[in-house]
Structure 1
């Protein structure tokens, strides 16, 4: 039996890092399903709208992170390719690579500390303006304190994120995925407890606040602290020049990620403002399930970023393509099966008139969003492959698609409501984003290799 499972895992490309990442996503998805049931039981439809719109506005952090965490992982992996491990907490080899790693770590800590603080201030102000303006006419909801706490936690989480990205670039993908798994489990359990206990919109902020300390505590009590201190002290004459090396790559990534906000996160705030928190809550609930599917399938791709970057640094393009093609097929299979299961469950709940079913969008918009989720999984994989070359060829495409999607969301949302938003979004992803992404992938791959 063990031999059978090992063979199956090999065919599906499942390794230790993927197992922990998948478990994190599974627990997150499973917890999401439980939280959906509990939210439907302990939050009103209006409160549900606030709950999911919180998440969409908090995603403004993209404008502050500017894709740097992802870049850190790739840069660290490129430098680590020229080093060897001496135990768990030391690296030997090129003094130049060690010095450059150290300079990158110094830069990350300083950059994210400042940016995290600015994010907290701007989130609090933005949330107060938005919810004060569009919450009139709805039932009285105590959203102020939850919003302040969530904003503070989001900023603090941003400060910690580059350290985890740095460790992933060092090849500690499995360990980082493992600690994130523990964090997700604790957060989900606490969220459910607080919801049942009647904390309403305070449930999520309290759960996030408590579990926020898990990654820093994990670093402090394990050899990761010694490893980071070792790298911190390896300062030398070689430094990674932010202006010359990182910024030309980052601003392209940043614009692509910012465009992603207008592609993926604009629905809830627009629906909240135009059709009210109930419809926004249905959209949020549906997207929560679909994003869970997407995150699980992309675990196959994202856990391979250090490997892709290392193979590119060594110019081993044949092995790179072999690993990527196999991984993409595995991710697409998982995504397709999960989406079919999701649409069957949601449709079944609605046909059987189970109360939980009316917390999701109707069948047709849900089906269209499932289609776009599968396509977005494919596009994200292609983009990750190319970005591991420390290039961002999707800049113009991301900006154009973001602008068109935002215009579609505002325009069709105003004219045709929910269906206008969903049909416009699905059409853009299927007929513009997908075709353009494939052309970019084939062109740049041939050019760079």
Structure 2
């Protein structure tokens, strides 16, 4: 019996593998951060995090497609199931709609991959001013990195298909092996002096493993896409796009809210400060994603339960998920604060590559408070709704404006203060109000 089948006997294996995958992923990110601060110069560290942040643009080009795809698939999957032969059976209409979603997703991600390769590659080149840098140290690493990411984008629809068909454990297991192999490739690159090439080694290594382990599932979905019975254009224009553009715009705004710190500090302060902010935001991502583990393992179930009108179960899942997310993100927050305080006090070189201690506390604490909004938004979005566009827009514009206006007097402290105030005191209460209102309007949750 295969390794993945043995693991399926674990109770709630989806949660088990999601948790393990996040722990390994976040742990490898932390090790990578320590290696970067040890082996890279302060200038190279700054470009490393600039490269990393620009890579997140591939999620923006997605325009929320992946999230909506999982939502729609989970609703169809309420009427479908797998047989032992690994074939899909169930309601014929649901099968036709699922096949249509597969066809749409393949076309979309091939287009996104090409767009990323051409426009992000060229745009990032000019944004970072790489024309004035040595070609082999900066230009070529960026070119190889954009090619590697474009290849990984093409694999995205198959990940969403596994998630939406409630095969979360399988998807997380594949992701786990890919994360480990990619991290090893990156660490080897950093250690042996490959510099910025180590980033493309990470992405390409992980993509190769993902492709190899997912090939059987991919072939199954590719074969299933041949089922007819629905107009793909009608499905996308009349149902899918209405949800996608709202989530996509929310993602775009969310990117600027949480991932614009490095580019802003790069332009407003210095390359060195951008590197320190980048390292600090890596810690924020760890705090946020540890809590997000519980959401990732349960989010498709929000859609399945919603399709079956089991809204009281959704409420129970929301409450349970919030408690777990807060608990684990808080533990990681405390661990990081103690670790960095000791490291800075003892003047350990690596810990001086982070920004000021009060800024670190505010940024990481914001990651804990964000667990509320993460759960609330997931519960509502998996009912095929996106009412969070206005609060995300208001908070993003407010945050960036306040940082630009106050950085002259507050310096790097502006990033921590503004981020904490806007997210914790404005965004979180606003998303809670929307969550309660959305379910009350339909008398779904009292």
CA distance in 1, matches of 2:398, 2:83: 51
Q: Is the 8 Å Cα contact of residues 96 and 230 (structure 2) preserved in structure 1?
A: yes
What displacement does 1:388 show? 0.6
- Of 363, 366, 379, 2:360 maps to 366
What displacement does 1:397 show? 0.8
Q: 1:267-321 CA deviation, whole Å, 9 max, x = no partner? A: 1011112222211111111111220221121110111122111000000111221
The answer to whether the aligner puts 1:51 opposite 2:48 as a matched pair is: yes
Q: Could you say which residue in structure 2 is the equivalent of 1:70? A: 67
Unpaired runs of 5+ residues, structure 1, are: 1-12
CA distance in 2, matches of 1:298, 1:173: 14
CA distance in 2, matches of 1:389, 1:80: 14
Q: Is the 8 Å Cα contact of residues 408 and 425 (structure 1) preserved in structure 2?
A: no
409-418 or 27-36, which moves further after superposition?
409-418
Q: Is the 8 Å Cα contact of residues 191 and 207 (structure 1) preserved in structure 2?
A: yes
- Of 198, 208, 214, 2:209 maps to 214
Change (3 A) 1:156 1:411: farther
Q: Is the 8 Å Cα contact of residues 80 and 88 (structure 2) preserved in structure 1?
A: yes
CA distance in 2, matches of 1:423, 1:319: 37
Q: 1:82-137 CA deviation, whole Å, 9 max, x = no partner? A: 1232225212221100000001100100111012101111111111111118x97x
Unpaired runs of 5+ residues, structure 2, are: 1-9
What displacement does 1:238 show? 6.2
The answer to whether the aligner puts 1:40 opposite 2:37 as a matched pair is: yes
Q: 1:35-68 CA deviation, whole Å, 9 max, x = no partner? A: 2222122100111111111111222223310011
Q: Could you say which residue in structure 2 is the equivalent of 1:266? A: 260
TM score, norm. by length of structure 1: 0.92
Q: Is the 8 Å Cα contact of residues 69 and 165 (structure 1) preserved in structure 2?
A: yes
CA distance in 2, matches of 1:57, 1:63: 10
TM score, norm. by length of structure 2: 0.93
- Size of the aligned set, in residue pairs, is 433
The answer to whether the aligner puts 1:317 opposite 2:314 as a matched pair is: no
Q: Could you say which residue in structure 2 is the equivalent of 1:105? A: 102
Matches within 5 A, 1:278-297: 278-297=272-291
405-414 or 118-127, which moves further after superposition?
405-414
Secondary structure, aligned partner of 1:304: helix
The answer to whether the aligner puts 1:82 opposite 2:106 as a matched pair is: no
Q: Could you say which residue in structure 1 is the equivalent of 2:173? A: 178
Q: Is the 8 Å Cα contact of residues 262 and 274 (structure 2) preserved in structure 1?
A: yes
What displacement does 1:205 show? 1.1
Q: 1:392-430 CA deviation, whole Å, 9 max, x = no partner? A: 010111111111122223322344321122212211112
CA distance in 2, matches of 1:37, 1:85: 44
The answer to whether the aligner puts 1:251 opposite 2:248 as a matched pair is: no
Change (3 A) 1:120 1:45: same
- Of 181, 192, 198, 1:203 maps to 198
Q: Is the 8 Å Cα contact of residues 406 and 414 (structure 2) preserved in structure 1?
A: yes
The answer to whether the aligner puts 1:193 opposite 2:188 as a matched pair is: yes
Change (3 A) 1:43 1:123: same
Change (3 A) 1:88 1:344: farther
Q: Is the 8 Å Cα contact of residues 249 and 392 (structure 1) preserved in structure 2?
A: yes
